[in-house]
């Protein structure tokens, strides 16, 4: 302000004469109108598709290609075997170190069904072209934008075309293509096509060169791969990162998830505009026929009931139903009682596979998983699944010093207050790595009162402690908050289901923690008794003039000490003998002595399938790899107890 005082007073402005405004006629404006192609639109708005920063762009490209590979394999009934390779590309001389590189080549290879030759150019170089948009069936992809947008981003930032090799069977030749998008027309431009010799008998390989940034940690390609493995135990994946060692993730579940069926839309889920369009497009000749054949859960009886409520003739021609009549029909549908949609269109991961995934990738002491029964939002069926991995692996717990260097102040909690739970979110088996705060899953975790289950939690924040919370939403249509598919939108029904699943996991965790605490205190008590038994035996013997059967008395007293301190139960809870986490369904407890509960590891011929995690997962589980203690890794056994 003082500086301003020293300025000379501003000259009083002369009354300005506004310059004459250029006027534009409607004809001139009309001449400027032009169609905008979808590719041009998304070139300008690439942030809508997840290409807003170089780091995120790298992840999005990998994710789109991997999601497609897994979708294709599963749809064709093939156990997926996917190779992901990310290389730093030289911008002139030798390739720079990955952390400084700004250009990457991404290659994703699958053993899927392959793609027929004619379809390759539009799939990879035409936006809004795909096989999944027009059907109601659970799949990772939905929109028909994913892979062509990734290719377009590469083209935009490096000028390089997308390279595709695909083969549909060992008897068919492999086709190689180089394609780019003609963004003006949203049509593919083929730069190269030929038949080549390819070692794979079947599958697809796509290579893109893009501008990106590689950095490990949260929301990185590495994290995406690790989380993908947790929710997709049936996938074999090889990841060749731009630096460091290749990671091999073996399959830990030797079965494909059940193939989801395609369903018709449920009447409660459609909007008026959609109903109008369906009335125009239907092949049925009568209104009741249209209702019964184009929707799920509408029987001829229900169709008749709807027509009656709408005061429309069941024999009316669907095309003639518009205006007020269509609105009446829409209202009648909403007020008629119709069965919930069928749920065979969904393929939840299932408790055993969630447990297997969490157990393999995250170190902990307690694991549990819950799959909720199907529910419906806006007419779309969905299933919520939740899981928990709690604590540190026994060997890590042993490494942490029992007593802190600085004594705790009065009232100070002994727990590690700085460590909070990590949430891993999934939609149709795809990890969601961005926008956690906008996601319904995060909101439901925050709204759950974790203190009820013995876990510390400050108001409005995540529960404290070493804990990973897994939540999966499986649906024919996941309501994402944007096209980049990062966060799940708020719906009451979804919130309720997530909350119920989390509470069940929480209850089991609470039961585990309570029991373990009780067992610990009983065990301490028993140790104290045992400490004095020898004294007592000797004293009694002296009183009896040395004529007592001391060995027998010692034995009896030891038995009594065990009995009054919880007996075998205490041993069991502390893992000193093993019979599984009783009363805790779909749970695993890990103790220094072994693993309690079923570790679902299904391998061909019952051979051990699970390998040690090749790399420690991202924080907070970025702990030392699990030690095998010479007894090897979890062996596939049908029994309740496994020793490691």
Ligand X SMILES: Nc1ncnc2c1ncn2[C@@H]1O[C@H](COP(=O)(O)OP(=O)(O)OP(=O)(O)O)[C@@H](O)[C@H]1O
Residue numbers at the binding site for Mg ion (CB under 5 A): 68, 141, 146
Residues 244-283 within binding reach of ligand X (CB under 6 A)? none
- For Mg ion, which is the closer residue by CB, 67 or 305? 67
287 counts as binding ligand X under rule CB under 6 A: no
- For ligand X, which is the closer residue by CB, 108 or 370? 108
Residues 99-118 within binding reach of ligand X (CB under 6 A)? 110, 112-113, 115
Which residues are bridge partners to 188 per DSSP? 181
Q: How far apart are CA 422 and CA 468, in angstroms?
A: 5
Q: How far is residue 583 from each of residues 330, 352, 515, measured CA to CA in Å? A: 48, 16, 11
- For ligand X, which is the closer residue by CB, 103 or 126? 126
Residues 193-212 within binding reach of ligand X (CB under 6 A)? 204
Tell me the closest approach of the beta carbon of residue 111 to ligand X, in angstroms. 10
- Which of 275, 280, 257, 256 lies closest to 265 in space, CA to CA? 275
- For ligand X, which is the closer residue by CB, 204 or 288? 204
60, 111, 142, 336: residue in contact with ligand X (rule CB under 6 A) = 142
Element (H, E) at 206: strand 203-211
- For ligand X, which is the closer residue by CB, 73 or 362? 73
Main-chain phi, psi angles of 557, to 5 degrees: -65, -40
- For ligand X, which is the closer residue by CB, 237 or 389? 237
- For Mg ion, which is the closer residue by CB, 48 or 325? 48
Calculate Rg over the CA atoms of the chain: 32
120 counts as binding ligand X under rule CB under 6 A: no
123 counts as binding ligand X under rule CB under 6 A: yes
Strands 366-371 and 380-390: antiparallel
- Which of 350, 426, 363 lies closest to 586 in space, CA to CA? 350
* Choices 136-144, 402-410, 527-535, 540-548; region in contact with ligand X by CB under 6 A: 136-144
Tell me the closest approach of the beta carbon of residue 188 to ligand X, in angstroms. 12
68 counts as binding ligand X under rule CB under 6 A: yes
Tell me the closest approach of the beta carbon of residue 80 to ligand X, in angstroms. 10
At 555, list the tokens: 């034995």
Tell me the closest approach of the beta carbon of residue 146 to Mg ion, in angstroms. 3
Cα of 490 vs its chain's centroid, Å: 17
Q: Which does 307 bind (CB under 5 to 8 A by kind): Mg ion, ligand X, none?
A: none
Give the sheet arrangement for strand 81-88, strand by strand. Answer: 187-196, 174-182, 162-167, 203-211, 103-110, 81-88, 236-240, 247-249
Q: Which does 338 bind (CB under 5 to 8 A by kind): ligand X, Mg ion, none?
A: none
> Residues near 635 by Cβ (< 8 Å), separated by ≥ 6?
601, 608, 642
- For ligand X, which is the closer residue by CB, 155 or 448? 155
47, 55, 117, 132: residue in contact with ligand X (rule CB under 6 A) = 132
143, 435, 499, 538: residue in contact with ligand X (rule CB under 6 A) = 143
Write down the H helix ranges in 1-102.
2-5, 26-32, 38-44, 54-75
What are the start-end ranges of the E strands in 344-398? 366-371, 375-377, 380-390
In the chain the first and final C-alpha atoms are separated, in Å, by 73
121 counts as binding ligand X under rule CB under 6 A: no
50, 121, 146, 269: residue in contact with ligand X (rule CB under 6 A) = 146
Tell me the closest approach of the beta carbon of residue 147 to Mg ion, in angstroms. 5
- For ligand X, which is the closer residue by CB, 333 or 427? 427
147 counts as binding ligand X under rule CB under 6 A: yes
Tell me the closest approach of the beta carbon of residue 60 to Mg ion, in angstroms. 11
Tell me the closest approach of the beta carbon of residue 177 to ligand X, in angstroms. 13
- Which of 49, 38, 33, 48 lies closest to 184 in space, CA to CA? 38
Strands 380-390 and 375-377: antiparallel
Using a 10 angstrom Cβ sphere, with 0-12 exposed, 13-18 middle and 19 or more buried, the burial of residue 173 is middle
- For Mg ion, which is the closer residue by CB, 343 or 484? 484
Q: How far apart are CA 618 and CA 247, in angstroms?
A: 14
Do residues 101 and 215 touch, judged by C-beta distance below 8 A? no
Tell me the closest approach of the beta carbon of residue 427 to ligand X, in angstroms. 11
Q: Which does 204 bind (CB under 5 to 8 A by kind): Mg ion, ligand X, none?
A: ligand X
CA torsion through residues 414, 415, 416, 417, sign = negative
Tell me the closest approach of the beta carbon of residue 263 to ligand X, in angstroms. 18
The secondary structure of 248-300, three-state, reads: EECCCECCCCCCCCCECCCHHHCCHHHHHHHHHHCCCCCHHHHHHHHCCCCCH
Cα of 323 vs its chain's centroid, Å: 43
- For ligand X, which is the closer residue by CB, 130 or 566? 130
Strands 641-642 and 587-591: unpaired
- For ligand X, which is the closer residue by CB, 131 or 328? 131
For the window 70-99, what string marks contact with ligand X as x by the rule CB under 6 A? --x---------------------------
- Find the residue with minimal CB distance to ligand X: 141
Tell me the closest approach of the beta carbon of residue 84 to Mg ion, in angstroms. 15
* Choices 124-132, 351-359, 398-406, 583-591; region in contact with ligand X by CB under 6 A: 124-132
Q: How far is residue 215 from each of residues 26, 54, 65, 514, measured CA to CA in Å? A: 52, 10, 19, 41
* Choices 123-131, 341-349, 493-501, 582-590; region in contact with ligand X by CB under 6 A: 123-131
481 counts as binding ligand X under rule CB under 6 A: no
Tell me the closest approach of the beta carbon of residue 346 to ligand X, in angstroms. 17
Using a 10 angstrom Cβ sphere, with 0-12 exposed, 13-18 middle and 19 or more buried, the burial of residue 231 is buried
- For Mg ion, which is the closer residue by CB, 146 or 352? 146
50, 121, 130, 479: residue in contact with ligand X (rule CB under 6 A) = 130
- For Mg ion, which is the closer residue by CB, 206 or 307? 206
Residues 36-65 within binding reach of ligand X (CB under 6 A)? 64
Given the rule CB under 6 A, which residues bind ligand X?
A: 64, 68-69, 72, 110, 112-113, 115, 123, 130-132, 141-148, 204
């Amino acid at each position: 302000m003082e500086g301003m005082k020293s300025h000379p007073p501003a000259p009083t402005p002369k009354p300005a004469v506004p310059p004459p405004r250029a006027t534009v006629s409607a004809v001139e404006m009309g001449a400027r109108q032009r169609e905008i192609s979808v590719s041009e639109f998304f070139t300008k708005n690439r942030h809508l598709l997840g290409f807003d920063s170089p780091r995120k762009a790298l992840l999005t490209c990998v994710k789109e290609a991997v999601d497609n590979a897994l979708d294709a394999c599963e749809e064709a009934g093939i156990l997926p075997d996917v190779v992901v390779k990310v290389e730093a590309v030289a911008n002139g001389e030798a390739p720079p170190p990955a952390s400084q590189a700004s250009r990457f080549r991404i290659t994703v290879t699958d053993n899927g069904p392959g793609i027929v030759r004619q379809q390759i150019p539009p799939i990879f170089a035409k936006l809004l072209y795909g096989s999944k948009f027009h059907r109601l069936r659970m799949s990772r992809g939905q929109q028909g934008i994913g892979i062509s947008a990734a290719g377009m981003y590469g083209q935009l930032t490096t000028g390089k075309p997308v390279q595709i090799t695909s083969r549909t069977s060992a008897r068919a030749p492999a086709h190689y293509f180089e394609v780019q998008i003609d963004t003006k027309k949203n049509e593919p431009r083929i730069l190269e096509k030929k038949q080549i010799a390819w070692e794979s008998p079947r599958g697809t390989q796509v290579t893109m060169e893009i501008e990106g940034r590689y950095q490990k940690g949260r929301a990185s390609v590495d994290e995406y791969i690790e989380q993908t493995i947790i929710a997709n135990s049936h996938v074999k994946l090889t990841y060749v990162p731009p630096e460091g060692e290749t990671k091999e993730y073996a399959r830990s579940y030797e079965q494909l998830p059940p193939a989801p069926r395609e369903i018709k839309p449920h009447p409660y889920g459609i909007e008026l505009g959609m109903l109008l369009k369906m009335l125009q497009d239907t092949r049925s000749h009568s209104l009741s026929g249209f209702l019964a054949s184009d929707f799920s859960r509408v029987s001829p009886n229900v169709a008749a009931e709807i027509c009656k409520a709408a005061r429309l003739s069941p024999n009316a021609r669907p095309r003639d139903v518009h205006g007020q009549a269509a609105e009446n029909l829409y209202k009648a549908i909403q007020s008629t009682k119709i069965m919930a949609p069928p749920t065979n269109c969904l393929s939840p991961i299932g408790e055993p596979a969630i447990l297997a995934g969490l157990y393999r990738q995250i170190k902990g002491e307690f694991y549990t998983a819950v799959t909720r029964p199907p529910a419906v939002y806006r007419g779309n069926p969905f299933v919520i699944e939740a899981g928990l991995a709690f604590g540190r692996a026994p060997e890590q717990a042993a490494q942490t010093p029992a007593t802190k260097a600085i004594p705790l102040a009065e009232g100070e909690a002994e727990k590690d207050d700085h460590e909070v739970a990590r949430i891993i979110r999934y939609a149709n088996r795809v990890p969601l790595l961005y926008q956690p705060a906008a996601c319904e899953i995060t909101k439901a975790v925050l709204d759950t009162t974790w203190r009820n289950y013995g876990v510390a939690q400050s108001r409005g924040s995540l529960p404290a402690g070493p804990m990973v919370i897994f939540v999966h939403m499986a649906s024919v249509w996941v309501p994402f908050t944007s096209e980049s598919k990062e966060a799940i939108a708020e719906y009451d029904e979804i919130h309720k289901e997530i909350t119920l699943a989390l509470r069940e996991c929480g209850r089991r965790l609470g039961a585990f923690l309570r029991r373990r605490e009780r067992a610990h205190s009983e065990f301490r008590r028993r140790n104290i008794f045992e400490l004095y038994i020898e004294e007592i035996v000797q004293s009694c013997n002296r009183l009896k003039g040395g004529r007592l059967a001391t060995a027998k008395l010692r034995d009896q007293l030891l038995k009594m000490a065990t009995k009054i301190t919880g007996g075998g139960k205490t041993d069991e809870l502390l893992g000193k003998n093993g019979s599984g986490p009783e009363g805790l369904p779909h749970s695993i407890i890990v103790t220094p002595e072994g693993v309690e509960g079923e570790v679902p590891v299904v391998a061909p011929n019952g051979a051990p399938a699970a390998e040690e995690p090749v790399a420690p997962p991202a924080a907070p589980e970025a702990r030392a790899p699990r030690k095998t203690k010479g007894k090897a890794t979890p062996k596939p056994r049908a029994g309740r107890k496994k020793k490691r």
